[in-house]
Amino acid sequence: MALPRVGILADDRLQQHLLKSALIHFGFDVVINTDPQRFVLLDQSELQLDAWLVDIRQEDDEENMQWLEQLLDGDVPVLLGLEKAPQKTCTTFPKWEKRLYGKMREIIKVTPVVAEDVAVLDRLNVPTTSPRIPLPGIFANQNFSGKAAAQVWVLGASLGGPGAVKDFLDALPGGLPIAFIYAQHIDPRFEETLCKTIGRHAEYELKNFVAGEVLNCGEVLVAPITDEFRFDGDGLPRSLERAWPGPYGPSIDQVILNVNEYYGQRAGYILFSGMGNDGSEAVMSLSNSQVPVWAQTPQSCANASMPESAIETNRVNYIGDPYQLALQLVNCVKHSGINIHEPIHH
């Protein structure tokens, strides 16, 4: 499918750069990115744009603004009057990017594909070729199944995510005292298929959301795609019976915030392949810098925008491909000493 074609006219070089990288992150094709004064030299018919994005910082006299009148009179929709981009490391940058994406979606007829489609699931029916990581000896004689998970990891993914998350889960040994929440942008019709496909060869049981059901060790809860949920005071998942905030469901940002509210430092977060910047805003708001925030290496992603956005926040403390992330997790759990009871000596 062709990407929506956008032209940027901005009189500030830094703003040109930030607008372009944000639009590319969200799956737009930036065909031209130049100063407004060069507009008169462009052959608009050749550009075949779906939208213009105009950002003017310096006020010009009317004579110099004729290009804008010409643009607004044309057939291509124009987005004008966006606030200046904050610096990339600023906590408000992901929010600014999301607003830009939301406004582009309002004016443009073709929007980028941000959610995974079912075709990818059909291709994931084969087991991974990588060997499964052995279970650390410290857990060998313990059985955590049926026990509420003391530590929970959120797996956030979008385009290209199912393959990466499947490789990650397939590499993990069963018997770790942890559970997962898997937030994947996908068409709601395929929620059940996602569960069956990703869990087919894993040692972990994937399950769809059931309100009030304890999240136990060895389970992967697939975050509901249409309705937001959170954990109540007893640690039970509850549906809020309202749509997730933001442009797509589930909102990985909101999943992170809601999990952090209950689990705090007993949670970790891993962002896999995906389009857009979902997850970045939330990881920047985590007050405890010790909480693990990991990302898939951009070069191992089918779509690197989501992990790249997270890495740009400077909050990510480990980057690896799906197998390396699984290995890092096993080591992390082994050394965190959760739920390990000393054997009783007689």
Question: Among 274, 275, 286, 344, which Cα is nearest to 313's?
Answer: 286
Catalytic residue among 158, 273, 300, 305: 158
User: What DSSP string runs through 167-197?
Assistant: HHHHHSPTT-SEEEEEEE-B-GGGHHHHHHH
Dihedral of CA atoms 58, 61, 65, 66 in degrees, nearest 10, equals -170
185 noted as active-site residue: yes
Enter the DSSP assignment of 139: G
Structure tokens at 135: 């279970």
Catalytic residue among 55, 278, 280, 300: 278
Residue 146, burial from CB neighbour count under 10 angstroms (0-12, 13-18, 19+): exposed
- How far apart are the C-alpha atoms of 189 and 111, rounded to whole Å? 20
- How far apart are the C-alpha atoms of 157 and 185, rounded to whole Å? 7
278 noted as active-site residue: yes
Report whether 321 contacts 296 (CB < 8 A).
yes
- How far apart are the C-alpha atoms of 22 and 2, rounded to whole Å? 18
- How far apart are the C-alpha atoms of 242 and 310, rounded to whole Å? 27
Catalytic residue among 185, 251, 253, 300: 185
170 noted as active-site residue: no
| Catalytic (active-site) positions | 158, 185, 278
